[in-house]
Amino acid sequence: MHRQVGTLQQIDGIAHRGLLIRHLVLPENRAGTDRFVQWVASELGAETHVNSMGQYSPQYRAHEYPPLSRRPTQVEFTQALRWAREVGLQHFH
């Protein structure tokens, strides 16, 4: 997708064209956020826009699969943001 549309282009704060990645932060780094941000920075570039989502909510039989039986903590979400800064991502929100 990045090869097709390139980096996100905004006009007056409105996205017009380009890639915006949405990443769901899971408890205990189950989504591999540390590896994900490294990959984005190295393969797509530090200017890639990433929307980090912390709204995971356990549903249905999630209680059978700890640690997915709980929401990510604020500490876990903050760690995800820290990893993104450490690898140089400029637009990780």
| pLDDT at res. 91 | 94
Measure the CA–CA gap between 46 and 42, rounded to whole angstroms.
8
User: pLDDT tens, 17-47?
Assistant: 999 999 999 999 999 999 999 999 999 999 9
Total structural domains within the chain: 1
pTM: 0.88
- Buried b or exposed e, range 38-53, using 16+ CB within 10 angstroms: bebbeebeeebbbebb
**Residues of the chain by 3-state class (helix, strand, coil), percent to 5:** 40, 25, 40
In a domain, 10, yes or no: no
In a domain, 9, yes or no: no
User: pLDDT tens, 64-91?
Assistant: 999 999 999 999 999 999 999 999 999 9
In a domain, 42, yes or no: yes
In a domain, 83, yes or no: yes
Q: In terms of DSSP bridges, do strands 14-17 and 9-11 run parallel, antiparallel, or are they unpaired?
A: antiparallel
Average pLDDT of 7-19?
91
Measure the CA–CA gap between 8 and 15, rounded to whole angstroms.
7
In a domain, 4, yes or no: no
- Give the range of the structural domain holding residue 58, as residue numbers without chain letter: 21-92
In a domain, 13, yes or no: no
In a domain, 1, yes or no: no
Strand partners, 9: 17
